[in-house]
Amino acid sequence: MFVRNALFAAAVCIPLSSAAAIEPRSPLPPVFSRPGTHWKRAGKVSADQVIHIDVSLTLNEKTSENGAKYLQEISDPASAKFGKHLRPSEAAELFTPPLEHVREVAQWLNSSGVTRSRMRLSLDLAHIGFDATAEEAEALFDAEFHQFASEDGSVHVASDKYSVPERISAYVEFVLPTAEGESAATFVPDSVEVELPDDGDALRTRATGDGVDCFKYMTPHCLRKLYNIDDGEGVTPHPDNTFGFFTPSFSTWISEEMKTFFARFEPRIKNPDPIVMPINGGYRFFDADLINFNLEPHLDYQYGMAIAYPQPVINIQVGDQVQVGNLNTMLAAFDKDYCTALDDEFDPIYPSEGGYNSSDCGTHTPPRVIGIAYAWNEAQFSDTYVKRQCLEFLKLALQGVTVVTGSADRGTADQLNTCIDPETGETGPEVGHFSSVFPASCPWVTAVGATQLRPTGNQTWNEDTPFPGEESLDYQGTTSGGGFSRAFPAPWYQAGQTKAYLKSTPSAQELGEKGYFDGRGRGYPDLSALGLNYLIRTNGALRAVRGTSASVPLVAGMFAKINQARLEAGKGTIGFVNPVLYTLGKKGFRDVTVGANEGCGVDKAFETAAGWDAVTGLGSPDYAKLLDLYMSLP
């Protein structure tokens, strides 16, 4: 959304005419950075081609720091402000560029020939947009625009260099040119589908009561027993308790599959359809029986609803039949000003021709707990892009929203199983420096890794016997994702733990010294939970799935249940949980000290250790103890 020209002129006081002066200039970093897609220069852009230019203004660094400091105060259990979450408008105000910075940039553009009638200012004051010919834009930014083509035929317009006058360089974060037909980035579900083997003995009646051996397959009943989760009997959902999952368009759950699953594993749920929150169309695909469209939603909603019973679960369905929605699509629907910060290079822009004929900007209220069982490659984006999106997660945290995301399933590689070439910086298959996963690498979300039960003497487990314990997930190529971000430094709540881990783990320290990762970065995951052989009903069969997106609905469901208990007691929702987990978490976690992940040509990359580690985080939660901990807080 943009300010009208008259209001723009009044806001920034642009004179009707002025002349540009020759003055010293400062370079800006080029935004175009997609190492994994192997873009090649395809020729210079013609001088008369019209390009849309987005001048992104630097967010007020002081207020951004203040936002993180305020989050520390309201999420630190020792603080008097604990739990005093902000309203959306209050959170947004922390990240507005100073008006004098906007004015100076707009006046420079006007003096350079981009008249005020051509400029559009975003409502959050963070972007000035206008259309220009390539020739005009090149002169304005001392740039040279070329077309870049990828292996899949996509074309992008970019320059290797940009500059602006030195006096305003501190106010401009980047310049983004866009043209029609540029494609969005790839995201991958965190789960791996496996056909259920013909193992009748494992499905015969056991002491668990639902006919499943919990050592071989996971069901809601097994998880409740293993993690001390109450069954929710007698609970009436609190109206302020909301819980949902991000689901991109085309992906969908099927009512009959949901009914079949719950009839066997949670028969108390009679109406198993989630509540659909459609964003920019909220398109669901029913025209073919395709497991890629159905597996992840069935995993999320079958286990999210069962664990959080009787809490209703919201299906945040993002995108239309023309453009598949992504995280920014969802985040813009929660923040009316963020629509203007979307990036044509990576994000679908609505309205869609032939699709959704509007744009959902700030039209929806985020659930109190959001599960995200999808992963992106951090190196696929520019630092500017991931840092800006991460600020939206900071805004949600300030508002008391708990975001739970998976750490992916390829160990130290990203979810696409690619690593970073130390010579070129590009990502490629399987060998190289470690490649971080996003949004798990953002410090303002809670990243969840995956574990499996440790072997027992007879390879089975009866709920009347002691808990068998957990080790990091490493099964048939699936290994719990974990490591250190290259884009974000370690936040205050974990800096001590990540340093202690590297100091006590010589093998990891050696890999860091060789440049495989940056040990100063945000470490992930924050915690872990079982992620092997969850039984789900999808595409006409009972199937077993594994991966960190199996652990996401389990952990997110636990947090939703804790919110329910706190609301019933007249307390607030838990909000951003990481500071509590890192400071008091020992009271509610089982440490996982067996196992390691692998990836990028390193068989044993990060090893588990006492306390936090880069494989399983702080360990796996004991729900009953975690609930007691949160109920003891104000």
Indicate the annotated binding residues for Ca(2+).
591-592, 611, 613
Which is nearest to 536 in space by CA: 554, 556, 550? 550
What residues contact residue 291 under an 8 Å CB cut-off, 6+ apart? 193, 538, 539
Q: Which of 222, 210, 380 minimizes the C-alpha distance to 303?
A: 222
Token pair, residue 301, equals 């909603």
- CA angle centred on 403, ends 580 and 228, rounded to 5°: 60
Amino acid letter, 312: P
Tokens at residue 107, please?
A: 């006046």
- Cβ–Cβ < 8 Å for 146, 157: yes
Contact 366, 35 (CB under 8 A): no
Please give the C-alpha separations between residue 436 and each of 52, 121, 521, in angstroms, as whole numbers.
31, 34, 10
Tokens of 4: 């009208």
Residue 206: other Cβ atoms inside 10 A: 21
Supply angle C-alpha 385, 575, 606, rounded to 5. Answer: 60
Cis peptide before 422 (omega within 30 of 0): no
Is 218 within 8 Å of 451 (Cβ atoms)?
Answer: no
Between CA 269 and CA 573 the distance in angstroms is 25
Three-class SS of 439-503: CCCCCCCEEEEEEEECCCCCCCCCCCCCCCCEEECEECCEECCCEEEEEEECCCCCHHHHHHHHH
* 551 close to 473: Cβ distance less than 8 angstroms: no
Residue among 410, 35, 365 at smallest CA distance from 192: 410
Closest CA relative to residue 397, chosen from 84, 24, 18, 125 = 84
Q: How far apart are CA 203 and CA 216, in angstroms?
A: 9
Token reading at 615:
């494989």
Please identify which residue in the block is written with the tokens 């008369």. 48
Handedness of CA 390, 395, 401, 402 (dihedral sign): positive
CB neighbours (10 Å) of residue 496? 13
**Catalytic residue annotation:** 296, 300, 549
Residues 6+ apart with CB under 8 A from 22: none
Contact 528, 480 (CB under 8 A): yes
Please report the DSSP string for 216-278 in residue order: T-B-HHHHHHHHT----TT----TT--EEEEEETB----HHHHHHHHHHH-TT-S--PPEEEE
- Whole-number Å distance between alpha carbons of 327 and 331: 6
Which stretch of DSSP H or E encloses residue 328?
A: helix 327-334
Element (H, E) at 589: strand 589-590
CB contact at 8 A, 436 and 414: yes
Q: Which residue has the tokens 């901990």?
A: 629
Count of beta carbons in the 10 Å neighbourhood of residue 277: 20
Eight-class DSSP state of 178? E
